[in-house]
Chain A
Amino acid sequence: MSECTRDKRQLCGASSGADGSRIGSASYRDGNGGGAIGVARTSDVNTGILDEQVLVLVFRSIKFDPKALCTVACVSRRLRAVAERVLWRELCISRAPRMVASLTGVAVGGGAGAGPPPPRRIAGGWPALAKLLLFCCGAAAAAVPGHFMGVSRFSKSSGRSFLSRQCQGDLLYVSDPCEHAMPGTDDDVGVYRGVFRGFMRSRTGACLVGRQAALDARLRCPYCGARVWSMVAAGLVPHSAWRRLGAYEGRVEYYVCVSGHLHGNCWLARLTSSEGEHGGDSDDSDDASTEEDGHVAL
């Protein structure tokens, strides 16, 4: 059984040394291919609380509570490895199964019963995606601090508004903006985040490379730490983006990192009674809510 260090976490797809086919849960395991009942585990120092199966069962019982996960990931290398490879992934799947299925192209089983094997990896890693689902990163320029959110709605149709015309074929989920008051002004800052499917193979990615857009010198992705492109600097922010947000034109900025994580903010115009563009028309089947399973992370 191999462990995944942080450097290799995106590449690590090794199975967990599972033993044999079983009735019941266990949809989390990649499996060695159904072994016969009775196949002994090879001598293994990772027993008890370090055993991946035990960890999944225990964390499943607390709905993969993110605070507990963050704590446990800091305990030892082994626990961090299991968290990065399995536990954060299960959190993402439990909070947003359709979105994860969409992003990885792998159908995710609902939990009970033998389903297809779960997706092994995601660009940027599972911990980053989990943080993206649950954490509003704030806006440093507007002195808005990041904060834990718990429940967010991510929408594909929202995402489409953020894609420039030649990139409309890309799949991008974007959250509803999280609104923060800006002291000293009448306006609010809207903070939002999102994620591309397969960013490095996307039209947007190709555009950025094609235009030789420079990576931002200073900024980093708040979710995975990778370098980012400013979409404003690259000229890839469509009008539909600020219309969708209900923001002031010219007051939208967002960044995309090499893993396909998007984060941004905007100045939100106060709505007059005659305007109702904020939110737009989203069709339910395009939306994924981290609340959709009724599991609210707190």
Chain B
Amino acid sequence: MAAEKGEKGAAAKEVAGERMVTLESSDGEEFHMSEAAAQLSTLLRHVIEGGGIDNGIPLPKVAARTLEKVIMYCEKHAKAAAKSDSDPSAAAGSSSDNTAAASEDLEKWDRKLVNGLSQDALFDLIVAADYLVIDGLLDATCRKVADMMKGKTPDEIRKIFNILNDFTKEEEEEMRREYAWAFDD
């Protein structure tokens, strides 16, 4: 125990040679993730470096189903980073094709992750990624929502996001005129 306490993060335990951290979601569920994956979150990194918490790290702002996705993302990206680090040809700089392909695969994986989410889950993931400070995940999730809005009319946006139009016809017309300026190229 004394040896472990001296290490960074009492919440970190060894599992099969890999240091793990325990996280607790807002609804009381316990999750484990590798410390390497946790490092992708600036927030978690600070908590771990600061000595952590004995019984795990509570995340009252992140629900279980969201935390699950966060961990999936972090584990995937941590593994990908470890793989490219340990790739000797990458160090030699001779396999730029491999690294390009690998990063393209990772992007595909990210898109698949966000595409598979309901809107609610997507928004929750945005908030969680911001809270946990995971830039790549925040980027991927925000980009998905931005793409959903891109080039759409207000009415199309209403349909996509199920938003009630609470303007009167006159107000709608007035808004349209008031905001036409950004389109006057």
Interface on A for B, CB 8 Å cutoff?
A: 19-20, 22-26, 37-38, 47-51, 53-54, 57-58, 60-62, 66-77, 79-80, 131, 134-135, 145-148
* Contact between chains at B154 and A74 (CB < 8 Å): yes
Which one of B60, B149, B166, B176 lies within 8 Å of A38 (CB-CB)?
B60
Nearest CB on B from A77, distance (A): 5
* Contact between chains at B181 and A146 (CB < 8 Å): yes
* Contact between chains at A68 and B126 (CB < 8 Å): no
* Contact between chains at B183 and A49 (CB < 8 Å): no
| Stretch of B66-74, B92-100, B157-165 at the chain-chain interface | B157-165
Neighbouring A residues of B183 by C-beta, 8 Å? 67, 70, 148
Nearest CB on A from B138, distance (A): 7
How far apart sit A131 and B179, CA to CA, in the bound complex (Å)? 9
* Contact between chains at B172 and A23 (CB < 8 Å): no
* Contact between chains at B161 and A48 (CB < 8 Å): yes
B119 at the interface (CB under 8 A from A): yes
Interface on B for A, CB 8 Å cutoff?
A: 42-43, 46, 60-61, 119-120, 123, 126-127, 130-131, 133, 138-139, 142-143, 145-146, 149-150, 152-154, 157-158, 161, 163-167, 172, 175-176, 179-185
* Contact between chains at A24 and B133 (CB < 8 Å): yes
* Contact between chains at A22 and B150 (CB < 8 Å): no
Which one of A26, A47, A76 lies within 8 Å of B165 (CB-CB)?
A76
* Contact between chains at A148 and B163 (CB < 8 Å): no
A-B CB proximity, top 9 nearest? A61-B142, A70-B179, A38-B60, A74-B154, A70-B182, A24-B133, A66-B182, A48-B123, A74-B175
Neighbouring B residues of A74 by C-beta, 8 Å? 154, 167, 172, 175-176, 179
A-B contact count (CB 8 A): 116
* Contact between chains at A146 and B184 (CB < 8 Å): yes
How far apart sit A93 and B164, CA to CA, in the bound complex (Å)? 30
* Contact between chains at B184 and A148 (CB < 8 Å): yes
24 contacts between A and B (CB under 8 A): A23-B42, A23-B43, A24-B43, A37-B60, A47-B120, A49-B145, A54-B145, A57-B127, A58-B142, A60-B142, A61-B139, A61-B146, A62-B146, A66-B182, A67-B182, A70-B180, A70-B183, A71-B152, A72-B154, A74-B179, A75-B157, A77-B167, A146-B184, A148-B183
* Contact between chains at B130 and A148 (CB < 8 Å): no
* Contact between chains at B163 and A75 (CB < 8 Å): yes
* Contact between chains at A58 and B43 (CB < 8 Å): no
* Contact between chains at B149 and A72 (CB < 8 Å): yes
How far apart sit A129 and B143, CA to CA, in the bound complex (Å)? 27
Neighbouring B residues of A146 by C-beta, 8 Å? 181, 184
With A37-B61, A72-B149, A79-B163 in contact, do A147 and B185 touch (Cβ < 8 Å)? yes
Neighbouring B residues of A80 by C-beta, 8 Å? 175
With A24-B42, A24-B43, A25-B130 in contact, do A48 and B119 touch (Cβ < 8 Å)? yes
Which one of B43, B127, B150, B163 lies within 8 Å of A50 (CB-CB)?
B163
* Contact between chains at B154 and A53 (CB < 8 Å): no
Neighbouring B residues of A79 by C-beta, 8 Å? 163
Nearest CB on B from A223, distance (A): 9
How far apart sit A62 and B143, CA to CA, in the bound complex (Å)? 8
Nearest CB on A from B92, distance (A): 35
* Contact between chains at A71 and B42 (CB < 8 Å): no
Which one of A19, A53, A70 lies within 8 Å of B130 (CB-CB)?
A53
Neighbouring A residues of B164 by C-beta, 8 Å? 76
Neighbouring A residues of B167 by C-beta, 8 Å? 74, 76-77
Neighbouring B residues of A75 by C-beta, 8 Å? 154, 157-158, 163, 165
How far apart sit A61 and B120, CA to CA, in the bound complex (Å)? 19
Nearest CB on A from B118, distance (A): 10
